Amino acid sequence: MSNRQLDDISKFLSFVLRHEPQAIGLQLDSEGWASIDRLIEGAAREGRDLDLQLIRAVVSGSDKKRFGISEDGLRIRAVQGHSTADVQLQHTEKQPPEWLYHGTATRFLPAIEREGLIPGARHHVHLSADRSTAMDVGKRYGTPVLLKIEALRMHQQGFKFFQADNGVWLTDKVPVEFFD
């Protein structure tokens, strides 16, 4: 299987496990878990040939660790980035490092400078502990720009932070006054 094919499967899994499970008749529980068997069946109805081996290859091969498989091996979920109202992952609150980063595109800066960082369709704002990962995210949306966030100061002022299983930091919003 080529990297391009695995990337295509990863994008499909992101779509159905984060945003539109109903597109293939899939049901997610409140923690985002779905039956792997139902995922394979739903994908087949849409003309996608998935099997357990391919799914495991995508999950284990993803450098961003976007997905998790349950300990019993029967269920899969996206570890963060959900926009569907049915999923409300319960993350443990955690103290962030002094600085976190957010990569975006320059075309979004006017809105960000007015409103701060808001989750949009997602449940949380996504932040990274390292600059390069944040810049890679920004490149996906156009000419990238890196925002440096005073995360520890935010936390000290009552903002809650969580960390997803893949290391991505999550918070409800980032007001402009916390941009460095």
Q: Looking at residue 106, what is its pLDDT?
A: 93
| Residue 116 φ/ψ region, left for φ over 0, alpha for ψ in the -120 to 50 degree band, beta for the rest | left
Q: Looking at residue 90, what is its pLDDT?
A: 66
Residue with tokens 């391919």: 54
Q: How far is the C-alpha of 37 from the C-alpha of 105, rounded, in Å?
A: 38
CATH of 3-78, one of 1.10.10.970, 1.20.272.10, 3.40.50.720, 1.10.10.10: 1.10.10.970
Task: Write down the mean pLDDT value for the chain.
Answer: 89
Ranges of each domain in the chain: 3-78, 99-178
Output 79 or 67, whichever has higher pLDDT. 67
pLDDT category of residue 152 using cuts at 50, 70 and 90:
very high
Domain pair 3-78 / 99-178, same fold: no
Task: For 99-178, give the CATH class.
Answer: alpha beta
| Mean pLDDT across 131-136 | 91
Please name the residues in contact with 25: beta carbons below 8 A apart, sequence gap of 6 or more. 38, 42, 45
Q: Looking at residue 101, what is its pLDDT?
A: 97
28, 34 Cβ separation under 8 angstroms: yes
28, 84 Cβ separation under 8 angstroms: yes
Least confident piece of the model among 73-77, 78-82, 156-160: 78-82
Tell me the C-alpha to C-alpha distance, in Å, between residue 114 and each of 58, 108, 133, 142, 175: 38, 10, 25, 20, 9
Please name the residues in contact with 87: beta carbons below 8 A apart, sequence gap of 6 or more. 28, 29, 30, 31, 32, 123
Q: Looking at residue 32, what is its pLDDT?
A: 86
Q: Looking at residue 15, what is its pLDDT?
A: 92
Q: What is the DSSP letter of 167?
A: S
Least confident piece of the model among 71-80, 100-109, 118-127: 118-127
Q: Looking at residue 85, what is its pLDDT?
A: 66
